[in-house]
Amino acid sequence: MIDIPRELAASQEKFNGEVGRAFIAGLPEQTAHFLDHWDLSLDGPPMHGVSALVLPVVRGTGMPAVLKLQVLDEESAGEPVALRAWDGDGAVRLLDHDELTGTMLLERLDETRMLAHVPHAHEAVVTIAELLAHLTSFQAPPGLRSLGDIARGMLDRTPRALARIPDPEARRLVSDCAAALREVADEPGDRLLHWDLHDENVLASDRAPWLAIDPKPLAGDPGFELWPALDNRYDPEDILWRFDAMTDILALDRARAHAWTLARLLQNTLWDIEDGRPVDDAQLEIARRLGRAGTRASRRGR
């Protein structure tokens, strides 16, 4: 028997409705199946994020690992594809995978040593940028979601969303984000993107100082990767330093990186509006600050 965290059940109810309830109800049986199928023994209390149950286990050989159980959807379906491509080089290593359910057996990293625990935000930003520079050096494997498709979908949804923003300045900022996206949407890129590399998705390991976990991979432009590190430990006075440091480390074209980062803000804002939430003031402030970076990038490009 396993204890299913209440927070995981609540998030599945909130975000996945009936599918989430069915997933939670089936977890005991699914866990028992994979413990037997892969010859695993439980080795500690369950862990979880918003969408997955993660169980520390030991293989029959004595090797520690983790069993990750999650709803199979368009985001989670790409995770094993990306992890196989990276093959442990900068990211957690995939040990086994069940295609039917999306269940994965992963190497065990040290969950007590998370990049979010590093006291200095600049050190964390540089670490994320260095990981991204390596991870995005890989070409995306066939079959992953395309940033180009996502970009076109966002632009199609933008007019309806703008009509639901009452504040004129907020509406202008969101409109500016859409305009920036239109400038780059026809060249979405072909790199292997993690998409969600924030400081809680980077763990330490005995074999490497830091490794990425929990990708929601895309095929696209690395400029779309910067947003989480700008938003972590939110500090408006630090936004431009972070943007400059990350674009330098990843050797990105600043104007394109600026446009793709504003596209990420547009993505978040569309989700907020469509879910009935107000536009987030902190994200709008990041857009204001990034406007200065865009101005500098345009001047450098002349």
* Neighbouring residues of 101: CB distance < 8 A, sequence distance ≥ 6: 30, 69, 72
d(CA 84, CA 275): 34
**Considering only CA atoms, which of 183, 192, 198 is closest in space to residue 151?**
183
The token pair at 114 is 């998370």
Beta strands in the chain (DSSP E): 40-42, 47-48, 52-59, 64-70, 94-97, 104-107, 110-114, 191-193, 202-204, 211-212, 218-220
Point out the catalytic residue in the list 73, 89, 196, 238. 196
CB 48 within 8 A of CB 8: yes
CB 120 within 8 A of CB 233: no
Q: What is the full DSSP assignment across 109-138?
A: -EEEEEGGG-S-HHHHHHHHHHHHHHHTTS
Active site annotation includes 43: no
> Looking at the annotation, which residues are catalytic?
196
